[in-house]
A = this chain, B = another copy of it.
Amino acid sequence: MIQMALANSGSSAAAPSGQAQLDRSKWLLDCPEPPSPWQELKSQVKESFLTKAKRFKSLRKQPLPKRILSILQAVFPIFGWCRNYKLTMFKNDLMAGLTLASLCIPQSIGYATLAKLDPQYGLYTSVVPPLIYALMGTSREIAIGPVAVVSLLISSMLQKLIDPETDPLGYKKLVLTTTFFAGVFQASFGLFRLGFLVDFLSHAAIVGFMGGAAIVIGLQQLKGLLGITNFTTNTDIVSVLRAVWRSCQQQWSPHTFILGCSFLSFILITRFIGKKNKKLFWLPAIAPLIAVVVSTLMVFLTKADEHGVKTVRHIKGGLNPISIHDLDFNTPHLGQIVKIGLIIALVALTEAIAVGRSFAGIKGYRLDGNKEMVAIGFMNVLGSFTSCYAATGSFSRTAVNFAAGCETAMSNIVMAVTVFVALECLTRLLYYTPIAILASIILSALPGLIDINEAIRIWKIDKFDFLALIGAFFGVLFASVEIGLLVAVAISFAKIILISIRPGIETLGRMPGTDIFADTNQYPMSVKTPGVLIFRVRSALLCFANASFIEERVMKWINEEEENDENTKSNAKRKTLFVVLDMSNLINVDTSGITALVELHNNLIQIGVELVIVNPKWQVIHKLNQAKFVNKIGGKVYLTIGEALDACFGLKV
C-alpha cells in the first residue's frame, strides 16, 4: 500500500490509470436513484413488522396444537419457561419472593402516602401488576410494584387538578384513570413498535432527573418525619423549605422526629452491614419490616399516638376491589389526564427498561423491548381495573431480588401472594405504625436514586450530556417534575441541532506515506498539498442554518491564504488553484445548501479557482444531480481525494 501511496503522492504526476478512474466517476454519477423519504418510511415500517409476519407465516405450516402453543408462548413467555421449571429453582424464587415482600410491604405503604392515596392502594399495586407481569414479561429479575418517582409524579401533577385532602374520592378516580391511560400508552408503544420513544429521555437526563426527584421526594418526607400538618402542595425546594421553616416555628412533634431518625439510622446501618458482608444481603432487605414491627409495638405499648405521634390508623384489608366503574372519562380534566398519563407512561417505561436491561446484561440475555412495553402496559391497564395505581420495575427492589438469587419471574408471584396474604390478615396490625417510620423507609431508599459516580463519568466524557443532566436536576428541584423532564429533553435535542448544524470547516492534509487525507488538527503530521485547499464541512448537514456561513468561511480562508502567500513568498505557483470539498461526512444537503454551493462555485470562478467535489453520499449526489449542480462544475466529482487531485493536476500540468 505504501508503494502505491508514494507513487501517487507526487501530485503533479499524471493519473496512472485514467480509464479506471473515469469509470469510477461514472459509477458515482450514474448510481441508482435513492429511495424517496416516503419509500424509506414504508420500508422502515415494513421491516419493523416483518419479523412478526415471518413468524406467523412459518407457524401456518405447523399442526394446530403446536400453533396455539407457539402463539401462547409469544404472548405469555411464562408458558415457555414454565415447562422447564424445577423445584430447586422454586426454592430460590420462594426465598427471593419472601425477601422482596418484606421490603415491598412497608415501601408500598410509604409510596402510596407519597402518591397521596390511602395506604392500602400501595399494597393493591403490589398484588395484581406483579402477577400480570409474571405472565407476560421477559425479564427474570425485575421487581414490579409502586415506585418512588412515579408516585411523586402522580401526586405532584394530579393534585393540581383535584385536591386529595378535600375530595379524596375524586382524586382516587383521577389516579386510576391516569393509570389506565398510562397503561394504554405503554401497551401501544409496544404493539406499534414505538419503543424508540423511550430513548428520547437520554441516559444523562435520567440520571439528573432521578437525582432531582430523589431530593424532592426526600423533602416531601420532612412532613412525616417532623409531624407537620400544614404543608405545601408544591414540590420545588424553595416552597418546601419555606413551608418546613414556617411549620417548625409553630408546631412540630419532637417525639415523631426522634422516632423517625432513630429507625432511619437503623435501616442505614443494616444497609452498611449488608454491603460489607454480601451474605447478609437479607438484613437490609428485611430491616424496614423490622422497623415497622418494632415501632408499631413501641407506639402501641407507650400510647405515643396520644402524645402527638401520628400513626397510619385504619387500613382497609381484603383483596383489591374492582374499580372499573371508578374510571372517569367524562371528567373536564380528560385532556390533562391523557397528557399526564403519557408522561407517566414514558417515565415508568424508562425506569423499568433501564432496570431490566442492566440486570439482563449481567445474566447475559437480551430483553425484548417491545414485549416488555406490552407487558407493562397490560399490567397497568388491568391494574387500573383493580384499584392499582401506576406500577413499574423498581431499582432498589430489583437489586434485592437479584441479590436474593431469584431465578425467574416466579419470585414476583411469590411476592404478590405474600402481599395478598398480608392484605387479608395483617392490615389491622398496622393501626399503630407511626407515619414517621414510613417516611424514614422512603428516605432510606433514596440514596440509590442519586448516582454521583455516573454524573462524574458523564461530566468527564461529554460536557453537553452533563448539561442535560444538570438541567433535569435543577429543573426538578427548583421548578417542577414536568419542567425538569422538559428541560432535559429540550437540552438533549438542542445539542443534536447544535452539533448537526455547527458551522465551520476543517482542512485536510495527506497522511505521510499514504493516500489517506485527514483533518490537519487531529493529525498534526499530515501534510497540506500546495495549491489545493481540501476541506470538509464540520457538521453532517449543509443546510439553511450553516450553508452561507460555510460559504463565507471558505472564501475568507482562500483570501487569507493568498495574502499569507504574498507576504511570505512571492511565488506565483503557490496560488490556490483548486478547492476540494470532501463530502464523505455529509448526510444530506437542502436547497439552501445547494444554493450556497452554487454561489461558492460562482465566487471561486471569478478568482480563477475550480471547485471539485469528492465522495458525496447517495442522497447528496442525487440532489446535486437534480439541481444540475454537477453539470455546473463540469462533472468534477470523484470518489476519493487522491483521484480528485490526480485528475486536477493531470488536466492542468
Interface set of A (CB-CB < 8 Å, partner B): 1-5, 7-8, 15-17, 20-21, 24, 27, 31-32, 34, 36-38, 44, 51, 196, 199-205, 361, 364, 366, 369, 457-458, 460-465, 492-493, 495-497, 499-504, 511, 513-516, 518-519, 521-525, 538-541, 543-549, 552, 555-556, 584-585, 587-588, 590-592, 594-595, 599, 602-603, 606, 617-618, 621, 623, 626-627, 639-640, 642-643, 646
Chain B residues with CB below 8 A from A503, complex form = 196
Whether A196 pairs with B590 at a CB distance below 8 angstroms is no
Whether A2 pairs with B24 at a CB distance below 8 angstroms is no
Q: Name the one of B17, B521, B592, B640 contacting A618, with C-beta atoms under 8 angstroms.
A: B521
Whether B642 pairs with A1 at a CB distance below 8 angstroms is yes
Complex CA gap A514/B17 in Å reads: 11
Whether A461 pairs with B592 at a CB distance below 8 angstroms is no
Copies in the complex: 2
Complex CA gap A606/B363 in Å reads: 12
Chain B residues with CB below 8 A from A38, complex form = 463
Complex CA gap A541/B500 in Å reads: 8
Q: Which residue of B lies closest to A642 (CB)?
A: B1
Whether B618 pairs with A519 at a CB distance below 8 angstroms is yes
Whether B20 pairs with A2 at a CB distance below 8 angstroms is yes
Q: Name the one of B1, B462, B640, B642 contacting A591, with C-beta atoms under 8 angstroms.
A: B462
Chain B residues with CB below 8 A from A3, complex form = 4
Whether A591 pairs with B204 at a CB distance below 8 angstroms is yes
Complex CA gap A8/B514 in Å reads: 14
Q: Which residue of B lies closest to A519 (CB)?
A: B618
Whether B366 pairs with A603 at a CB distance below 8 angstroms is yes
Chain B residues with CB below 8 A from A492, complex form = 544-545
Q: Name the one of B204, B464, B587 contacting A540, with C-beta atoms under 8 angstroms.
A: B587
Chain B residues with CB below 8 A from A585, complex form = 540, 584-585, 587
A449 shortest CB reach to chain B, Å: 18
Can you name 6 A-B pairs with beta carbons within 8 Å?
Answer: A1-B15, A1-B21, A2-B20, A199-B544, A202-B592, A522-B618
With A8-B1, A500-B496, A623-B462: A202-B543 Cβ-Cβ less than 8 Å: yes
State the majority secondary structure of interface residues on A. Answer: helix
Given A27-B525, A31-B523, A203-B544, 14 more pairs with CB closer than 8 A? A1-B20, A1-B515, A2-B16, A32-B521, A51-B556, A200-B544, A202-B545, A204-B591, A204-B592, A461-B594, A497-B497, A539-B540, A584-B585, A585-B585
Which among A44, A369, A548 has the highest number of chain B CB atoms within 10 Å? A548
A558 shortest CB reach to chain B, Å: 13
Chain B residues with CB below 8 A from A502, complex form = 587
Whether B588 pairs with A499 at a CB distance below 8 angstroms is yes
Which A-B residue pairs are the 3 nearest by beta carbons?
A540-B540, A4-B4, A202-B544
Whether B496 pairs with A541 at a CB distance below 8 angstroms is yes
Complex CA gap A457/B595 in Å reads: 12
A528 shortest CB reach to chain B, Å: 16
Q: Name the one of B361, B522, B590, B595 contacting A599, with C-beta atoms under 8 angstroms.
A: B361
A87 shortest CB reach to chain B, Å: 29
Whether B540 pairs with A541 at a CB distance below 8 angstroms is yes
Whether B591 pairs with A547 at a CB distance below 8 angstroms is no
Complex CA gap A552/B48 in Å reads: 12
Whether A500 pairs with B540 at a CB distance below 8 angstroms is yes
Whether B499 pairs with A497 at a CB distance below 8 angstroms is no
Chain B residues with CB below 8 A from A202, complex form = 543-545, 590-592
Q: Which residue of B lies closest to A31 (CB)?
A: B522
Complex CA gap A341/B606 in Å reads: 39
A52 shortest CB reach to chain B, Å: 13
Whether B511 pairs with A639 at a CB distance below 8 angstroms is yes
Chain B residues with CB below 8 A from A203, complex form = 544, 591-592, 595
Whether B16 pairs with A511 at a CB distance below 8 angstroms is no
With A544-B203, A590-B464, A606-B364: A516-B640 Cβ-Cβ less than 8 Å: yes
Chain B residues with CB below 8 A from A617, complex form = 519, 522
Whether A34 pairs with B196 at a CB distance below 8 angstroms is no
Chain B residues with CB below 8 A from A366, complex form = 555, 603
Whether A500 pairs with B587 at a CB distance below 8 angstroms is yes
Whether B499 pairs with A199 at a CB distance below 8 angstroms is no
Chain B residues with CB below 8 A from A495, complex form = 590
Q: Which residue of B lies closest to A599 (CB)?
A: B361
With A37-B463, A544-B202, A591-B462: A1-B27 Cβ-Cβ less than 8 Å: no
Complex CA gap A621/B519 in Å reads: 13
Chain B residues with CB below 8 A from A549, complex form = 196, 199
